[in-house]
Amino acid sequence: MSREPMAPLTQIPAYLQTIADYEVEAEKHLSSMVWNYLQGGSMDEVSVRDNLQQFQDIQLLPRMLKDLTQGSTELEMFGQKFPHPIFLAPIGHQQQFHPEAEAASALAAEVMGSNMILSTFTNTDMRALKQDNPRKWFQLYWQGNREKSLALVKMAEAHNYTALVITVDSPHTGIRDRERRAFFHLPEGMQHPHTPTHIPLPELKEGDHPVFNGLMKIAPTWEDIAWMVQQTHLPVILKGIVHPQDAQLAIQHGVKGLIISNHGGRVLDTCISPLIALQLIKKVVPADFPLLYDGGIRRGSDVFKAIALGASAVLIGRPYIYGLATAGALGVAHVIKILKEEFEITMALMGTATVAEIQPGCVLNRIE
């Protein structure tokens, strides 16, 4: 039965204390079609569930009686300093969750000292985000050719984005049964300032395969990544790498960091869990090579566990969209605040004064 979504809240009620609370609340503010788009994954959604379950399989091993009076959540990466390691993952089409879209998320990120990664499929022009905010990166979906892709990168450079994230794990969209059952579609006339929602496909000749001679024909390759590295002064980060051999290839092609991710379970179902991938990749890259973690973060203790297993920082996706749908910028800021405070308290109770002190010895039953 269809229902009319509630309007976004203008203040945060006392009953919203956790990300789980926000998940329950957000559903009230979205149509069932958009809710299914947000919550869904590919095929049987095994990976969606695994991304959440994996954190419960890891136990914390705290140390006591340490002097933590100089404690801090600060970190440095790519020559930048960040107040804490909780970043906002790139998510497109945010206007379907709140009228102020990415502008609201960016405002919340700036206020809370979080790094914002703006999607290619933003409804908010990249030039509208505050010029002098150094904590904003641009995420690129390959535009089918080098020239169109580079044009977006040069625009990001000109507007003070400080890193380039290239998503490489979705050259073809996942088979999303839940979305299809809900007849999901974007609103007619929704603006995407920087790209069409569908990149023009090559014209198929007789005998051509619709997948391999279609989308896959215009998908990026390692040669394209190496070319892009040469075209930009921004550090290039690949999002969606899960295989150790691909991590090594990325370094060989000039990539400066990786986001370990299975796309929130939205592309390839039963793809390796990102926490397992993180540990495998950590073994084959230089000790100081930045590895960011994406997938299933719902608690500050999850942030801690991901860092203990090798992450330099973490990305949150669905959680901040729950906040956006509930109360716009205010909701996103509150979600970041919840996770940041939980992370700080976890650090204190674990006897770790700095992010650098969060090491593999802090956890037991590591999944490998």
> Using alpha carbons only, how large is the chain's radius of gyration in Å?
20
Catalytic hit among 29, 93, 194, 263 = 263
Determine whether the annotation assigns residue 167 to a binding site.
Answer: yes
- Note the Cα 302 to chain centre separation in Å: 15
Residue with tokens 């089409």: 93
- Please give the structure tokens belonging to residue 320: 């901040």
Q: Supply the pLDDT for residue 366.
A: 56
Residue 368 has pLDDT above 70, yes or no: no
Determine whether the annotation assigns residue 172 to a binding site.
Answer: no
Q: Supply the pLDDT for residue 138.
A: 98
Q: Are residues 71 and 92 in contact, defined by beta-carbon separation less than 8 angstroms?
A: no
Distance, in Å, from the CA atom of 356 to the CA atom of 176, rounded to the nearest integer, reads 39
Determine whether the annotation assigns residue 170 to a binding site.
Answer: no
More confidently predicted of 118 and 171:
118
Using one digit for the tens of pLDDT, what is the confidence trace for 175-227? 999 999 999 999 998 999 998 766 777 777 887 787 777 676 778 999 999 99
SS3 content of the chain, % helix, strand, coil (to 5): 40, 10, 50
- Could you tell me which of 108, 171, 151 has the C-alpha nearest to residue 320? 108
Q: What is the mean pLDDT of residues 328-332?
A: 98
Give me the architecture of the 19-183+212-365 domain, per CATH: Alpha-Beta Barrel (3.20)
Residue 315 has pLDDT above 90, yes or no: yes
The strand pair at 291-294 and 257-260 is best described as: parallel
Between the alpha carbon of residue 299 and those of residues 12, 245, 261, 268, 295, the distances in Å are 19, 30, 18, 25, 12
Q: Is 93 a catalytic residue?
A: no
- Could you tell me which of 294, 324, 305, 359 has the C-alpha nearest to residue 26? 324
Type of residue at 263: H
Determine whether the annotation assigns residue 295 to a binding site.
Answer: yes
Using one digit for the tens of pLDDT, what is the confidence trace for 335-361? 999 999 999 999 999 999 999 999 999
